[in-house]
Structure 1
Amino acid sequence: MSARAAPAAVTVWYDSACPLCRREIALMRRLDRRGRIAFVDLGTATTCPADRATMLARLHAREDGELRSGAAAFAAIWRQIPLLRPLGLAARHPRVLALLERAYLGFLRLRPRLQSLARRLEGAPR
């Protein structure tokens, strides 16, 4: 009897052109020891579940057939990683998710500067 790999519980779309995304996805891949997350690079994806610009603007993940974005997408990822699962489960509470979404929106305002810094650290042209 052969063991078959379970299908991914969550699919995550990410921007491989973004140095922050690359680092974050690399970390999530290392933490996803059970292989529960499928990662799809928007740079090479032939199809997207939403408009590509929308997908690039915020993190998106599909969980239980539902497309989630922003903090809800992060929470879907966290629920698949044992170390982060408690935070992902806590995010099922609307107030916790609202707080996380507010923090994510703050991050999005800082993201262009952080991307620029990450590119400089990588030695890539601006």
Structure 2
Amino acid sequence: MPTPAAPNETLTVYFDGSCPLCTAEINHYKRQKGAERLNFVDVSQEGANPGPDLSPRDAMRRFHVRRADGALVYGARGFVAIWQVLPRWRWAARIGSLPGVPTVMEVGYRLFLPVRPLLSKIASRLGARPANECGCGC
């Protein structure tokens, strides 16, 4: 498991802005105390470049966070990294960092990924809106 994020570390969060569910979650994080330490990058935008070690397509398929040292963490560990810098979410980060918990969270996240399009459509019907329309039909 990667070392915990320092509470004052700046993270880059890659997200799919064409997904209403993803956008709703990111908008929630943006409103949190400590969000100034999160740099949000919508990888569904034309010309998005998350770096040489991460394609926009891969960044849209799975949640990725870049640490200040350049290291990528993804999936459940990406969420834990975000929670570590948001004061109101540190309790979740502590739980998510307990031995064995990251593995269980990752299994849950992998089970979630195939149903994300359906949940995103439901979120859209409930009023969630994407940050942008990618035109990909997702």
TM-score w.r.t. the length of structure 2 is 0.75
Report the residue type matching 1:51 in the other structure: S
Taking only the aligned residue pairs, the percentage that are identical comes to 32
Q: Give the secondary-structure state (helix, strand or coil) at the position aligned to 1:31.
A: coil
Runs of 4+ in 1 over 6 A off after TM superposition: 123-126
Aligned to 1:3: none
Displacement of 1:43 in angstroms is 2.6
Higher relative contact order (CA 8 A, sep 6+): 2
Residue 53 of structure 1 aligns with which residue?
57
Are residues 32 and 62 of structure 1, via their aligned partners in 2, closer, same or farther at CA, if it must alter by over 3 Å? farther
Size of the alignment, in residue pairs? 120
Q: Which residue of 2 aligns with 1:13?
A: 14
CA distance in 1: counterparts of 2:83 and 2:128, whole angstroms: 31
Give matches, 1:64-103, under 5 Å.
64-65=68-69, 66-103=71-108
Bigger radius of gyration among the two:
1
Instruction: Please show how residues 30-41 of structure 1 align to structure 2 within 5 Å.
Output: 30-33=31-34, 35-41=36-42
What is the alpha-carbon distance in structure 1 between the residues aligned to residue 12 and residue 117 of structure 2?
Answer: 25
Quick check: 108-117 or 75-84, which moved more?
108-117
Equivalent-residue separation in structure 1 for 2:117 and 2:11 (angstroms): 27
Q: Which amino acid aligns with 1:16?
A: G
Read off the aligned partner of 2:76 and give its amino acid letter.
Answer: A
TM-score when scaled to structure 1?
0.81
SS of the aligned residue for 1:46 comes to coil
Unaligned runs of 5+ in 1: 1-6
Q: Which amino acid aligns with 1:98?
A: T
Q: Residue 123 and residue 8 in structure 1: after superposition, are their counterparts in 2 closer, same or farther (change >3 A)?
A: closer
Would you say the 8 A contact 1:9–1:64 is kept in 2?
yes
CA drift at 1:28: 0.3
CA distance in 2, matches of 1:108, 1:59: 10
Amino acid aligned to 1:14: F
Secondary structure at the counterpart of residue 35 of structure 1: helix
Does the 8 Å CA contact 1:12/1:39 hold for their aligned counterparts? yes
